[in-house]
Amino acid sequence: MKLADLMARAGLDGVEAAGDLRVTGFAIDHRKIAPGTVFGAFQGANFNAEEFIADGIEAGAVAVVARPEAAVEGALHVSSEEPRRTFALLAAQFFTPVPPHIAAITGTNGKTSCAEMTRQIWRMCGERAASIGTLGVTTPDGSVSTGLTTPDIVTFLSNMSGLAREGVTHVAYEASSHGLSQFRNEGLPVSAAAFTNFSRDHLDYHGTMEEYFAAKMRLFGEVVDAGAPAVIWHGEGSDDWSSRAIDHARAQDLRVLTVGEQGEFLRLSAREATQLGQTLTIEHDGESYTIKLPLIGAYQAANALVSAALALASGADRSQVFDAIGRLQPVRGRLERAVITATGAPVYVDYAHTPDALEAAIIALRPHVSADRGGKLIAVFGAGGDRDTGKRAPMGEAASKNADLVIVTDDNPRGEDAAAIRQAVLSGAGSNTSEIGGRREAIASAIAQAGPNDIILIAGKGHEEGQIIGSGDNMRVLPFNDVQVARECAAQFASGGAS
């Protein structure tokens, strides 16, 4: 494939300089360069790929996308003030074909659930659908390969093209703020977008809430196709961020479809908790529908309805979509029931790692606690190291305010002192909170004290398979899965053994 043709299709300048150069692939890691590769040499927070441009050219790079001031000798310098974006636009012309229906989902919480639920709904409507996000790439047959929330642009585009070649026609992916700000979602025809909610997270990276929100809004302003539908959650008591997202989408001439108690496209008019889920009454296009959602929690209802709206916006039949909502399966690590203890207490695992998400998870479980029989809600959680420190005390406050008993433990300490992280969380917690550093020991303690009318929530790590200790060359990832550990602790408790 000729570089000049790729540049022309991407709308880039300097096509003539590309001459007859032929491209065999793209890479952002100089160690993965083969002859004919286009090398994206970017400056990062901890790594500057510009220092390896000469190595990349020696390995066979025919062109280097980099800042104008970067030193490039022996290959075509595709100069750009925004090299990540230019590289993405160029690579998107190489990795073809792509699925014709692509939906992107952003927001602080709910991205993973919405991407997976949208995939499930499309599949139940007869489409060959996949999802890409925190859980990895989930294919039409349900198989999963793990990955980052938003993989690097080469992996992302390669995955999309690979799915299309396998016959996948519909893909839903998570558009994280990191991915959006680093142009890891560029170049594809995105036919629909969604915004779930917005609250504090990732300020260690973005700095301020305004910058964090601006990164999210790149989805509406620069990624999604012109005139495409923008599904936005607009629930009861929605904050100003939701209204701002609506205004932003409208300013971009997108077709705004609001969903929730205040929604105009899909209105949630009633919600009633049941033993194994909830009954939803929704209004759409002047008609009322009653749906039994087999998932618990208000935010699970929100995720399901945002996903349904994305499916409807893609042209899916409404009767099939509403029927599919009633058959949705739990998303791994999202209010996933891990085990029921020997005393009869269910144990749920959730990825909640922000104050709002933690509060939402606890509130979701609250109606299922037998409070009239002395039931308690026990929450076990911690905060990650080397991440936004300002959310730790609010997480402690959210947990102790909404749960009956709280155990603060370790999450992924990374390069920080684990005890110091726990103390920061405890500084916002109340008298109903205790501290057990070892995560397995904390889970075992919760199970040991849970009675038949209680519920246990283990929050923070969700689907994760390891616990990250240390950083840099000293980083270790210890095998640890909350669901598996909860089951092991429950089995040990049932047999009378020590955990």
pTM of the predicted protein model: 0.81
Question: Residue 137 is which amino acid?
Answer: V
Q: What is the largest CA-CA distance in the chain?
A: 78
Distance CA 437, CA 142 (A): 36
Q: Residue 125 has what pLDDT?
A: 97
Strands 255-260 vs 266-273: parallel, antiparallel or unpaired:
parallel
Interval 81-107: pLDDT, tens: 999 999 999 999 999 999 999 999 999
Token digits for 52?
């390896």
CATH number of the CATH domain containing 415: 3.90.190.20
344 lies in the same domain as 431: yes
117 lies in the same domain as 225: yes
Query: Which residues on neighbouring strands pair with residue 441, listed in sequence order?
Result: none
Residue 138 lies in a domain: yes
The parts of the chain modelled with pLDDT lower than 70 are 145-150, 202, 237-238, 275, 497-499
Strands 433-435 vs 405-408: parallel, antiparallel or unpaired:
parallel
364 lies in the same domain as 483: yes
- Edge-to-edge strands of the sheet including 266-273? 144-145, 136-138, 129-133, 170-174, 101-106, 192-195, 229-233, 255-260, 266-273, 278-284, 287-293
Q: Residue 150 has what pLDDT?
A: 59
Residue 331 lies in a domain: no
185 lies in the same domain as 59: no
Q: Which domain holds residue 144?
A: 101-325
Residue 61 lies in a domain: yes
Domain C-terminal end among 78, 94, 110: 94
Instruction: Classify residue 285 as exposed, middle or buried by CB count within 10 Å of its CB (0-12, 13-18, 19+).
Output: exposed
Distance CA 15, CA 26 (A): 18
111 lies in the same domain as 50: no
Domain C-terminal end among 269, 296, 325: 325
Q: Residue 216 has what pLDDT?
A: 93
118 lies in the same domain as 206: yes
318 lies in the same domain as 353: no
Exposure of 2 in the CB half-sphere (CA atoms within 13 A) = 10
357 lies in the same domain as 479: yes
Domain C-terminal end among 276, 299, 325: 325
295 lies in the same domain as 435: no
CATH number of the CATH domain containing 54: 3.40.1390.10
Backbone angles phi, psi at 244, to 5 degrees: -65, -35
CATH number of the CATH domain containing 242: 3.40.1190.10
Q: Residue 420 has what pLDDT?
A: 97
Residue 254 lies in a domain: yes
Q: Residue 275 has what pLDDT?
A: 64
Strands 229-233 vs 76-79: parallel, antiparallel or unpaired:
unpaired
Residue 359 lies in a domain: yes
Question: Residue 461 is which amino acid?
Answer: K
Give the number of other CB atoms < 10 A from CB of residue 165: 12
312 lies in the same domain as 379: no
Give the number of other CB atoms < 10 A from CB of residue 476: 10
Residue 330 lies in a domain: no
Residue 499 lies in a domain: no
434 lies in the same domain as 286: no
Distance CA 36, CA 3 (A): 10
Instruction: Classify residue 244 as exposed, middle or buried by CB count within 10 Å of its CB (0-12, 13-18, 19+).
Output: middle
Angle at 38 between CA 33 and CA 41, to 5 degrees: 80
Residue 315 lies in a domain: yes
Q: Residue 391 has what pLDDT?
A: 94
256 lies in the same domain as 400: no
Give me the number of domains the chain comprises.
3
Interval 369-393: pLDDT, tens: 877 888 999 999 999 999 889 999 9
